[in-house]
Amino acid sequence: MENKELVLLVREKAEKWLSETYDEETRKEVQRLLNNEDPSELTDAFYKDLEFGTGGIRGIMGVGTNRMNKYTVGAATQGLSNYLKKNFAGLKQIKVAIAHDCRNNSRFFARSSAEIFAANGIKAFLFDDLRPTPELSFAIRELGCQSGVVITASHNPKEYNGYKAYWDDGSQIVAPHDVNIVKEVLKIKHGDINFDGPDELIEIIGEDIDNKFLEKVKSVSVFPEVVARHKDIKIVYTPIHGTGVKLIPAALRKFGFTNIINVPEQDVVSGDFPTVISPNPEEETAMAMALNKAREVDADVVMASDPDGDRIGVAVKNDKGKYVLINGNQTAMLFIYYIITSLKSSGSLKGNEYIVKTIVTTEMIAEIAGRNDIECFDVYTGFKYIAEVIREQEEFKKYIGGGEESFGFMPADFVRDKDAVTSCALMAEITAWAIDQGKTLFELLQDIYLEYGYSKEKMKYIVRRGKSGADEILKIMSNLRDNPPSVLDGSPLELVKDYSTLTEKNLKTGRQKKIDQKATSNVLQFFTVEGSKISVRPSGTEPKIKFYFEVKGHLVSRDQFYEAEAKAEAKIERIMKELGV
């Protein structure tokens, strides 16, 4: 489409927002955009509709069809309301729970959503203030709701906000409801949105749910006597301006810890995230202030959560006295190792336990589980798939933990999403447990490698924007499918898994078998004879293609750790070069 033609279409679309059915503030801002001689801002705001995908919506805040605002949030809520009324037509009262994070406009969007639900005859339980996403998941089940919504854009930049929808089991929505809700939302026109519902159908919730949630969090503690012996370990924690400030220090105290050291500047709740470039605990820059505090007080462990309190970042002091971030795979490894080891030593294993990991997460987790006769399920990226396994297995087997490489872990099934609240409390207990055995958390991690084998992981992504970028990403995937590498760093390829066809092929024997997944996904995996694993997938939310690398190493003593790490890092670099990444 020619640029002039696009601008004309955009102006026509924008002028409809000057109708008095839109509020005055919106009309003024749209008029400002229309009056601007440079049409780029107007075009970006209106050239497409912000898509409601299978996980909800996420976008930059502002006026326009391609922005997060009262009307795009309204369309999402109206579509969800329509679907709930169809799906639960036999219920006397349909109920939803609503939470929000610290972002600018989050409270406004949450309140607007509650009013729209109420206008559709649906009872809305609205938290009185910001709350972590895992508490929203818990509240849905606790209050007997059929759905839930959390207003958050996770760890995206401050200009963004988002809308995530949940089902009655407390998990993000999966098939068939995800696709069906999208269809309902796509039908919604501006005039279809029912705003301004009655106050009597909106119930404000808060402290009572907090207390019930924290009691559940406390129940995850395996060795309270260990915590009692080491209750004063030095724990540095930062919410990075987000919702974790509400409950994570309280959860740590509930476990019995008494020496929680905060970062005052980052306890300030703010959607502007004034002390960081990006509020992402995966990045060392976001944890810089917490690491400075750790050095100042000689902390035993450093933890952070992202703005909506579902991801956990962890830093430990190594044997050289330096605080280092551990990656999401290592965090998940520590959790799985501790949960299985502690349940075994306490005689609590019944033989029907299982864990869940995502397919791009380290195989070390499966190794730990397998050697302890614990079943491990592999699922696609996203905790909704972990929750789906729980839903299918809860009458037969017991879930004891699950996680993914992107800094998310779910220690118990009373939450059906990533849970930094429970995870932070449990990581503090793991630290105390290590100290009880005369080890640091860093040494415990090394000992896991010594017992189960060493591996190193790395993720790298390539950004390709626009239509040409999307085409290039598709071409990269196509080339890898049609021309997979035969050797990587001198090791022959042994296994190829193509999740787009759900086909697993053994290159040594020529045998093929079906991959046990319900649906296809645009993911490729390569496994070499010596144990390297490379996963490739386009991002579902960003213009990126992601490469996940995992290589095996040899470690026979702690003092060889850095040598093994350096060799593994060099191996990953060679494989990346061979793949052109």
CATH code for the domain of 97: 3.40.120.10
pLDDT of 54 above 50: yes
pLDDT for position 463: 87
Over residues 152-208, the pLDDT tens digits come to 999 889 999 999 999 999 999 988 998 999 999 999 999 999 999 999 999 999 999
Residues 278, 184, single domain; the answer is no
- Is 470 found in the same domain as 445? no
270 and 194, same structural domain? no
List of residues 6+ apart from 9 with CB closer than 8 A: 1
C-alpha distance from residue 32 to each of 10, 17, 210 (Å): 14, 12, 44
Q: Out of 81, 106, 113, 154, which one is annotated catalytic?
A: 154
Q: What is the mean pLDDT of residues 266-277?
A: 97
Query: Over 80: is that where the pLDDT of 543 sits?
Result: no
Predicted confidence (pLDDT) per residue in 380-391, tens digit: 999 999 999 999
How many structural domains is the chain composed of?
4
94 and 201, same domain (yes or no): yes
Note whether 266 and 147 are same-domain residues: no
Q: How far apart are CA 139 and CA 417, in angstroms?
A: 12
**What per-residue confidence (pLDDT) applies to 541?**
62
Distance separating alpha carbons of residues 334 and 159, to the nearest angstrom: 34
Cα–Cα distance, 321 to 350 (Å, whole number): 41
Do 315 and 297 sit in the same domain of this protein? yes
Residues 453-469, mean pLDDT to the nearest whole number? 87
Q: Which residue has the higher pLDDT, 558 or 6?
A: 558
Residue 360 lies in a domain: yes
Residue 258 lies in a domain: yes
- The answer to the question of residue 522 being in a domain is yes
Q: Are strands 524-528 and 491-498 parallel, antiparallel or unpaired?
A: antiparallel
DSSP alpha helix (H) spans, 271-320: 288-297
Kindly report the average pLDDT of the chain as a whole number. Answer: 95
Structure token pair of residue 415: 């939450």
Catalytic, 154? Answer: yes
Chosen domain end from 405, 437, 452: 452
Same-domain status, 376 and 515: no
Among all chains, which residue has been given the structure tokens 């609240």?
Answer: 421
Q: Taking the CB of residue 382, how many other CB atoms lie within 10 A of it?
A: 21
φ, ψ (nearest 5 deg) of residue 35:
-80, -15
pLDDT grade for 539, boundaries at 50, 70 and 90: confident
pLDDT in tens, 285-300: 999 999 999 999 999 9
Q: What span, in angstroms and rounded, lies between the C-alpha atoms of 203 and 171?
A: 22
Half-sphere exposure of 61 (CA within 13 A, CB side): 20
Q: Are both 79 and 197 inside the same structural domain?
A: yes
Residue 220 binned pLDDT confidence (cut-offs 50, 70, 90): very high
The last residue of a domain, from among 452, 487, 522: 452
pLDDT of residue 542: 67
Q: Please give the residue that has the higher pLDDT: either 252 or 463.
A: 252
Strands of 229-297 (E only): list them.
Answer: 235-238, 260-262
Residue 415 identity (one-letter amino acid): V
Q: Report the DSSP pairing between strands 454-463 and 544-553.
A: antiparallel
pLDDT beyond 80 at 419: yes
- Structure letter (DSSP) for residue 307: T
Residue 225 lies in a domain: no
pLDDT of residue 1: 44
Contact 512/504 with Cβ under 8 angstroms? yes
Lowest-pLDDT range of 241-245, 530-534, 539-543: 539-543
Looking at the structure, tell me whether residues 146 and 268 fall in a common domain.
no
Q: Are residues 275 and 152 in the same domain?
A: no
Torsions phi, psi for 205 (to 5 deg): -120, 160
The pLDDT tens digits for 551-571 are 999 999 999 999 999 999 999
Residue 345 in domain: yes
Q: Flag whether 273 is in a domain.
A: yes
Can you give the CATH number for the domain in which 493 is found?
A: 3.30.310
Domain limits for position 256: 213-220+230-452
Residue finishing a domain among 452, 469, 497: 452
Q: Tell me if 89 is assigned to some domain.
A: yes
* pLDDT at 372 > cutoff 90: yes
Which two tokens mark 338? Answer: 């501790």
Per-residue model confidence as pLDDT tens digits over 309-333: 999 999 999 999 999 999 999 999 9
Residue 334 lies in a domain: yes
Task: Output the six-digit token pair for 487.
Answer: 């050797």
| 58 and 167 belong to one structural domain | yes
Residue 437: band (very low, low, confident or very high) from pLDDT cuts 50, 70, 90: very high
Are 330 and 406 found together in one domain?
yes
Confidence of residue 4 (pLDDT cuts 50, 70, 90): confident
Tens of pLDDT along 98-157?
999 999 999 999 999 999 999 999 999 999 999 999 999 999 999 999 999 999 999 889
Strands 301-305 and 260-262: unpaired
